[in-house]
Amino acid sequence: MADNDNVVVEARALSKVYRDFWGRQKVRALKALDLEIYKGEIFGLLGPNGSGKTTTIKLLLGLLFPTEGEALVLGQPATNVTKNERIGYLPEESYLYRFLNAEETLDFYGRLFNISPDVRRERIDKLIKQVKLGDARKRQLREYSKGMTRRIGLAQALINEPDLIFLDEPTSGLDPIGTREMKDWILELRDQGKTVVMCSHLLADVQDVCDRIAILHQGELKELGRVDDLLKVEDVTQVSARGLSQDCQNEIRDVIARHNGELLSMENPTTTLEELFLSIVRDSEARPGRRVVKQDPESPPADSAASSDANA
């Protein structure tokens, strides 16, 4: 448990009920949420659609008022709007002015925070380069793809150099390369000492970047803890080795059997589809025109075969 100085966000029995026109309960979106988020961590709110993730973020931002309970953000009540000067927010759908370009968009939001012109220009240039929109900085946002809109949305969320950043589905609409870059930017924010609260239903994104997670379902907190602890399978021991002969593998099997263990698998590990895809794309960018070809074990390498044909 962290001390109170490190608690950036605290929810105490936080609840939200949506009511109809006559005040009757329509949906109980959040039920007595107790939660603490610490300084300098990436915290993930995970759950299926309708689980209460976005409602939680809006309550913490002060965009909604709780039905019961309370929330403290940066040491202040969540309903206190002055705290928002230290907060960045990327909503699930970015509501940006379509007829402004990237520079004008960031300049507009910088003015809302009363950032001086010189500092504003410096930050705008830095953020546009960071999110890799340098070639599109003068294009109107109506011409942007959804992935580009997410990038400028992230830059907008960082224009005030916030201490706390809320990201609602940050990788929505991004291709695999953009998704990897977004996750790298989130990790960089943590390295800078900032606190990131990330809301997503994409398990791989949460697993890759989050230190701790809360799993919500139907408005209730179902699980809370560190990602590595929650994913650990306690009754399975995994051994990874290289260069083992068949005799050695047989001996390992015998040892496991003698100790009344059950050998579940002994096989070559696999990478992920994401890593394979990114590796191929990066290699293609480094060496244009080169194509990776799956080789038959009995045939010579592609380069050798080509060389033999040329000599012939």
Contact 83, 74 (CB under 8 A): yes
Read off the pLDDT of residues 24-63 as tens digits, 9 standing for 90 and up: 778 888 999 999 999 999 999 988 878 888 899 999 999 9
* Cα(220)–Cα(223) distance, integer angstroms: 9
Q: pTM for this structure? A: 0.76
Sheet with 76-77, side-by-side order of all strands? 25-38, 7-19, 68-73, 76-77
Domain 7-231 in CATH 3.40.50.300: yes
Q: Which helix (H) or strand (E) holds 68?
A: strand 68-73
Helix (H, G, I), strand (E, B) or coil at 83: helix
Q: Whose structure tokens read 């009363």?
A: 114
Q: Assess whether pLDDT exceeds 70 at residue 306.
A: no
pLDDT at 296: 47
Q: In the chain, what is the greatest distance between 2 CA atoms, to the nearest angstrom?
A: 88
| Domain boundaries along the sequence of the chain | 7-231, 273-305
Q: What pLDDT band is residue 290 in, cutting at 50, 70 and 90?
A: low
Read off the pLDDT of residues 236-261 as tens digits, 9 standing for 90 and up: 666 777 677 888 888 888 887 888 77
